[in-house]
Chain A
């Protein structure tokens, strides 16, 4: 999941008007879309604001690990592709911020929450990109996991969020394919290149599984979120799907997934896999990821260094408005 805090309590206050609440629940249960001006319970608004803004922050911070390699892409073709992908992620962030704003939180408040460290984003972006193979592994695994999470959200109950997800999903599939293509090129290359690809898979595999969030047993609000159609499949269901489609993709590359417990289970029609290190996940959520501080510093620096451009644009707009009024 691109959101890491869904386990926060979502107490549906008993202060809500019971008739309105019942009508709302019925609309959502009938798969109707809720639009910005419609009545909604406060807890729904709060949970969605948190989920959509975290998703937006993830897209924006997610540009950093890949941006790290734009100037060092191994060819002009790869550089053009990586630039386009990173630009897409900026677009995804913007669609999502817009969707979150319709719930009544300003862009400024969300950016401020990100920069102050108050807001969370996906744990995956707090890992470093050490080699070019990491760019392949991210496209293949991280965008792959993001797609797995985002496809069902195209039918989420909040209209603006669902529409943003439709756009995002359309654009996301090239992200995964270009990553896989990088992995194919490296696996067909020299022994050293293949070793780099395997090393990248080794480092990104477990953090990718963590992207789906804690096990269902430790996600007390899943039931509520599913009832509200804010979430359409559980963390464990999505994680299982991801493992099952990724295993043959790794085999096609001739790479091995770094999990000795991984094996096909005929009875359940899916793979069994080893235990995810949830201690590591919670540590990264708490802000102890390997490059967490660097990521936020990079965002803050970009914001501060761009201040003069925003100021100039605002001054120009003010001058124009004054002239228009005088005329």
Chain B
């Protein structure tokens, strides 16, 4: 039996002004067929106006085991949020 075709990740822009969003994946031998399969699989009901397909092998992902090292340092930097600063009530437009 032949090998599975390569896997592609599918991204759909649902309407103008919005980003493409990941919706799933398809197997396909080449980019054109990947687009056609993505169209048939993920946009049968006007879900989008634009499609991206990206070879899954090209995606670099962070490792869940490193979550703490990657994302926790942000947790104690509350001064990055506007609510960290208290300004008197009678000072407005700030």
Nearest A residue to B6 via CB reads A317
* Interchain CB contact under 8 A, B63 and A313: no
Out of B2, B7, B30, B64, name the residue touching A316 (CB < 8 Å).
B30
* Interchain CB contact under 8 A, A91 and B2: no
The CA of A106 and the CA of B2, in the complex, are separated in Å by: 12
* Interchain CB contact under 8 A, A112 and B63: no
Does A293 touch B at the CB level, under 8 Å? no
Does B27 touch A at the CB level, under 8 Å? yes
Does A107 touch B at the CB level, under 8 Å? yes
* Interchain CB contact under 8 A, B64 and A107: no
* Contacts A87-B44, A91-B41 given; does A106 touch B1 at CB 8 Å: no
* Interchain CB contact under 8 A, A313 and B29: yes
Q: Size of chain A's interface in residues, with CB distance under 8 A?
A: 27
Out of A39, A91, A106, A320, name the residue touching B44 (CB < 8 Å).
A91
Complex interface: chain A residues within 8 A of B64 (CB): 35, 37-39
Does A218 touch B at the CB level, under 8 Å? no
Nearest B residue to A97 via CB reads B27
* Interchain CB contact under 8 A, B63 and A98: no
Does A70 touch B at the CB level, under 8 Å? no
* Interchain CB contact under 8 A, B45 and A171: yes
* Interchain CB contact under 8 A, B25 and A98: yes
* Contacts A37-B64, A108-B1 given; does A313 touch B33 at CB 8 Å: yes
Complex interface: chain B residues within 8 A of A88 (CB): 44
Complex interface: chain B residues within 8 A of A35 (CB): 64
Nearest A residue to B23 via CB reads A167
Q: Size of chain B's interface in residues, with CB distance under 8 A?
A: 21
Complex interface: chain A residues within 8 A of B33 (CB): 313
Complex interface: chain B residues within 8 A of A286 (CB): none
Complex interface: chain B residues within 8 A of A310 (CB): 2, 5, 29
* Interchain CB contact under 8 A, B24 and A314: no
Does A95 touch B at the CB level, under 8 Å? yes
- 1/0 contact string of B22-54 vs chain A (CB within 8 Å): 001111011001000000110011000000000
Complex interface: chain B residues within 8 A of A87 (CB): 40, 44
Out of A37, A95, A112, name the residue touching B1 (CB < 8 Å).
A112
Does B76 touch A at the CB level, under 8 Å? no
Does B61 touch A at the CB level, under 8 Å? yes
Does A311 touch B at the CB level, under 8 Å? yes
* Interchain CB contact under 8 A, B29 and A317: yes
Complex interface: chain A residues within 8 A of B41 (CB): 91, 94-95
* Interchain CB contact under 8 A, A314 and B44: no
- 1/0 contact string of A75-86 vs chain B (CB within 8 Å): 000000000100
Q: Which of B45-94 contact A (CB under 8 A)?
A: 45, 61, 63-65
* Contacts A37-B63, A38-B64, A107-B4 given; does A95 touch B30 at CB 8 Å: no
Task: Enumerate 30 A-B pairs (CB-CB under 8 Å) in ascending A order.
Answer: A35-B64, A37-B61, A37-B63, A38-B64, A39-B65, A84-B44, A87-B40, A94-B26, A94-B41, A95-B24, A95-B41, A98-B25, A101-B7, A101-B25, A107-B4, A107-B27, A108-B1, A108-B2, A108-B3, A163-B24, A164-B24, A171-B45, A310-B5, A311-B2, A313-B5, A313-B30, A313-B33, A314-B2, A314-B29, A320-B30
Contacts A35-B64, A107-B27, A311-B2 known; 19 new A-B pairs at CB < 8 A: A37-B63, A39-B64, A87-B44, A88-B44, A94-B26, A95-B24, A98-B24, A98-B25, A106-B4, A107-B4, A108-B1, A108-B2, A163-B24, A164-B24, A171-B44, A310-B2, A314-B2, A314-B29, A317-B29
Q: Which 5 A-B pairs have the closest CB atoms?
A: A317-B29, A317-B30, A313-B29, A108-B4, A107-B4
